[in-house]
Amino acid sequence: MKVQHIEVNGLKIFYRESGFADKPVFLLIHGFPSSSHMYRDLMKMLEEKFHVIAPDLIGFGQSDAPSRDSFKYTFENLTNYVDGFIEALNLEKLFMYVFDYGAPIGFRIAMRHPEKILGIVSQNGNVYEEGLGKKWEARAQYWQNPTKELREQYKSAFSFETVKGQYTFGTEPGSVAPDGYCLDIYYANTIDDYAEKQSDLIFDYQTNVKLYPKFQEYLREHQPKLLAIWGQNDPSFIFEGAKAFKRDVPNAKVIGVNSGHFALESCCREIAENILEFFG
């Protein structure tokens, strides 16, 4: 595996790369509050069959995290930089693995460039209203009435206990090592103005929900080869969101694994085997 940076529109994007350049590209897009580190094991399992590439989003991990004065922390803007990353690497055709925040970014990319998409893995990457867990009801009220007090309240999402809970809830005891959530907390404590940048994205998440009908229209029109593989105990993006893909892509494969939100941490081999079987 190689780790390196590439410049996109004046900002450095860090990425991990493995496999062989003559193999089909698999682009792995991470979510909140993680980085490309979440794909460290999956990349090793896919590299014989695919050219695997996993970037850190702007504001996450080892990529640049510009000030809020010079960069808008919105999902549309994050997508612009992933789009620029794809162009900078001259990726003409690709599979995508989308997770959490990576889903609305990935589906924006798919809508912009449907001709590039060979297939999609959605792992707890929701694009359906029925996939939104209970917490999103309160988020919707916040979006309608964005007070300073609620913005401060949602900064609890960056605490150690909350992040650890995202990794461990719904998993078998002892199945999740601390490496992933400890690294996420490290970045939260070292990236300048992290809480405000991430709070901007929490507020902007409403734009993703508004785009769900467009994402679904893309699916119906283009019928991408799609694997929805879900940590079925996830309270944030519930398993009904995985099942909903079948409504728009009847040939989609839907699988639940015995895990929570960060299913790769405890079920990586099972997920990799299903990817290799479905797309191999």
Task: Pick the catalytic residue from 30, 37, 51, 261.
Answer: 261
What is the C-alpha separation between 279 and 225, in angstroms, rounded?
A: 8
∠ Cα 167 31 10 (to 5°): 140
In 3D, which of 19, 28, 23, 30 has the Cα closest to residue 183? 30
- For residue 76, which of 234, 208, 202, 235 has the smallest C-alpha distance? 208
Label residues 185-218 b or e (16+ Cβ within 10 Å = b).
Answer: bebbeebebbeebbbbbbbbbbebbebbeebbeb
Contact 261, 166 (CB under 8 A): yes
Catalytic-residue membership of 261: yes
By the 10 Å C-beta count (0-12 exposed, 13-18 middle, 19+ buried), 169 is classed as: middle
Instruction: Please name every residue paired with 226 in a beta bridge, in sequence order, or none if there are none.
Output: 120
Q: Output b/e per residue, 140-156; b: 16+ Cβ within 10 A.
A: eebbeeeeeebbeebee
Contact predicate 226/119, CB 8 Å: yes
- Known catalytic residues are 261
